[in-house]
């Protein structure tokens, strides 16, 4: 797995903008899970700080990463809170 697929170096989006956030029920210190976008698996950091996972630094999830996850599959919608009025591509098909 390519390191750029594991983590992004973009800083989290500023608060108060139309941003995607991790749903409060899924925020957790030092928790990292995998999700898929197409055929690529990626790490999602549930914490508000960088997590070291066996030598791999997984940065805090960015709004862009959460949007990518949210748009990838309807089953991920429970993990992400989208901006008000946002409609995912999969919701438009239904």
Q: Which residues of 55-73 are buried (b: 16+ CB within 10 A; e: fewer)?
A: eeebbbbbbebbbbbbbbe
Count: domains in the chain? 1
In a domain, residue 89? The reply is no
What single-letter DSSP state applies at residue 59?
Answer: P
In a domain, residue 94? The reply is no
In a domain, residue 13? The reply is no
pTM: 0.76
In a domain, residue 92? The reply is no
In a domain, residue 76? The reply is yes
> What are the pLDDT digits (tens) for 59-85?
999 999 999 999 999 999 999 999 999
Place of tokens 């946002």: 86
In a domain, residue 14? The reply is no
> What are the pLDDT digits (tens) for 4-50?
444 444 444 445 568 999 999 999 877 899 999 999 999 999 999 99
Calculate the CA 69 to chain-centre distance. Answer: 5
Q: Which domain holds residue 73?
A: 3-8+19-84
pLDDT (0 to 100) of residue 24: 92
């Amino acid at each position: 797995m390519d390191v750029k697929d594991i983590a992004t170096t973009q800083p989290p989006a500023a608060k108060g903008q139309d941003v995607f956030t991790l749903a409060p029920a899924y925020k957790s210190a030092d928790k990292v899970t995998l999700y898929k976008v197409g055929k690529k698996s990626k790490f999602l950091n549930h914490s508000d700080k960088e997590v070291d996972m066996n030598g791999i630094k997984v940065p805090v999830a960015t709004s862009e990463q959460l949007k990518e996850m949210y748009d990838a599959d309807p089953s991920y919608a429970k993990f992400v809170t989208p901006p008000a009025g946002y409609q995912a591509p999969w919701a438009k098909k239904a």
